A and B are shown apart, each in its own frame.
Chain A
Amino acid sequence: MAGLCGKLRMYLEFSRISFQRAAAYRFEAWMRLFSNVVFLFMWGFIWYGLYMDRDSVSGVTFQSVFSYVLISQMLQGIHSAGTPLWEIQEKVRSGDIVTEIIRPYDYPTRLLFADLGSIAFYFLTAIFPLYSVIFLIFRPLIPTSPEQWFLFFLSVVLGYLIRYFIELTFGLFTFWLIETGGVEDIFYFAISLFSGATIPLWFFPGWLNTLARYLPFQGIYFVPNAIFVGELGGTELFSALTVQLFWVAVSFLILRFVWYKAGKKIVGQGG
């Protein structure tokens, strides 16, 4: 038990350090925030244009969609503060990965905690203040009950873990392929299409909608977004959460398996 506490303290130390370090890279954070807002307005205007002279599309009002876009951009902003794919690639290419291997910790776990630290900083100093203002100005739909808030947060956490585990797994492919551009493209394509980051799944044609609902990616943005704006409720909500949980477990197992295999695959530079 004491060992476990010590371990947790150690990993949290990485969170703390990333938090501090994030403060040193403020400019980068501001640029990220800037592009996040640009995208927010772009999607806002696109949906506004599509909804001209119409009260609802597929039974969904403009306000729902707009709220969806808002919360989606906010979540994407949070996700963007921790990108293990780049870090792993950098470490493998430079050979610095060896210094992670000779430490008495689990590298994927360390990465996760470090990223949580930088996310905390980015959230507190950038995302939260900015989106508070945006929410006050535009008054989008927000959860109406404590249960809805709770389910939303739960879903956000599950969604974050799904994305993190998948992205880490893709990052680990660098151990086998020096050039991972193609693999990355698949990852980003799948995320941008199937996660519902920009287009809510309910606008997908029937078969694509069904397909998307069983893939892991919808758990990243679509489920929390839809819960937030109240488009997902009742049994539908619970089955969505179950699917999320299922994918958290599966993507975690795949990650651990790939990590185990990657551990045997390390090729050191030099003689």
Chain B
Amino acid sequence: MITVKNISKIFYINKRQEGMLGAIRSMFFREYIEKIAVNDISFSISPGEIVGYIGPNGAGKSTTIKMLTGILVPTSGEIRVNGVIPYRERQKNARQIGVVFGQRTQLWGDLPTVDSFELLKQIYQIPEKKYRKNLETFTEILGLDEFLNTPVRQLSLGQRMRADIAASLLHDPAVLFLDEPTIGLDVVAKDRMRKFIREVNKERGVTVILTTHDMSDIEKLCKRMILIDKGKIMYDGELAKIKEVFGRDRILTIDFEGDVPFLEKGVQLIRSEGNRKWLKFNLEEISTAQLLAEIAKKNEIKDFIIQEPEIDYIIRKIYERGL
């Protein structure tokens, strides 16, 4: 469905000089800073996959999405989306993809939501029957009817996101690009969004690529994730596998009776707040029961919690030392 071969994107940013003299100088001599946003990345995505595309701010996520949607022209490399080179055949590509930018609506602010949909029907030349059916389905799942006649500008963020994702799917695209679709949403709204994405993927076979900062998006939606940092792919593969590699670590939080200088072999103290200590250990080295027994021998334990590592932590680990 999507193949990306050795693409890079370099931005040339105008370098600003400091002070008055610098300002005058830069009127005549311009200096550019090269910023490599995406650096020689390759991957391919099969039909029907949901792939999480993640990385910290400025990692090159949005740049990649913008190249795949045809907005940006790559500096080098090859892209095909369903056989189409996006930046060369923008309009053709536009017909077969749906795009949602979490940070920016694509609907017409002063039109009632349903008018925006009607306009999209004209733009994508969606047959009446198909349009009715899709709109009905989405209205039902996403509960659009409560605001269909409200101008987009007056919608809450959650409503707006629902309207936007429905809008992006009206023309039955083969691929759906979601750039931070849950940003700023509350837990309930996030959940609703994820459910909808899962359903669309399952029922309609839409290939989904989503970028996010929220790891629970990935955990709840994707089997596969691509991790990018500084324009390079750090990991591309199953989410489960990554959890396996790092998944043997546990965090034990203990409240002690009284202040204790704590030290146990093979256990790392990662945080300490008064009587509460956060300890990290690895199941390969010591079992939880064993560790607790050891600690209980010398100290009075008031309370404790054991946590599996969250994916954020795993990602931080990969950044720190690689796979």
Contact = CB atoms under 8 A, between A and B. Distances in A.
Interface of A: 6, 9-10, 13-14, 17, 21, 24, 95-96, 98-99, 101-106, 263-264, 266-268, 270-271
Given A99-B104, A104-B123, A263-B87, 14 more contacts: A10-B122, A17-B108, A95-B104, A96-B104, A102-B90, A102-B97, A102-B106, A103-B94, A104-B124, A106-B91, A264-B87, A270-B58, A270-B62, A271-B37
Which of B73, B90, B97 lies at the interface centre, i.e. has the most chain A CB atoms within 10 A of its CB? B90
* Cβ-closest 3 pairs across A and B: A271-B58, A104-B94, A13-B122
Given A21-B110, A98-B101, A102-B94, A271 B122 contact: no
Contacts of B101: 98-99
Contacts of A21: 110-111
A103 B71 contact: no
Nearest to B58: A271
Interface of B: 11, 37, 57-63, 66, 69-73, 87, 90-92, 94-95, 97, 99, 101, 103-104, 106, 108, 110-111, 115, 119, 122-125
Given A17-B108, A96-B104, A98-B101, A268 B123 contact: no
A21 B37 CA distance: 39
Nearest to A178: B14
9 contacts: A10-B122, A96-B104, A99-B104, A101-B70, A102-B106, A268-B63, A270-B62, A271-B58, A271-B63
A99 B61 contact: no
B110 A24 contact: yes
Contacts, number: 73
Contacts of B91: 103-106
Nearest to B38: A271
A268 B66 contact: yes
Given A17-B111, A99-B104, A268-B62, A105 B71 contact: no
B70 A104 contact: no
A105 B171 CA distance: 14
Given A267-B11, A271-B37, A102 B71 contact: yes
B70 A271 contact: no
A13 B57 CA distance: 39
A263 B90 CA distance: 10
B58 A104 contact: no
A264 B108 CA distance: 25
Contacts of A102: 69-71, 90, 94, 97, 99, 106
Contact of A99 (B87, B95, B106, B119): B106
A271 B62 contact: yes
Nearest to B228: A271
A98 B108 contact: no
Nearest to A12: B122
Contacts of B115: 17
A95 B119 CA distance: 21
B58 A17 contact: no
A13 B122 CA distance: 7
Contacts of A101: 70-71, 90
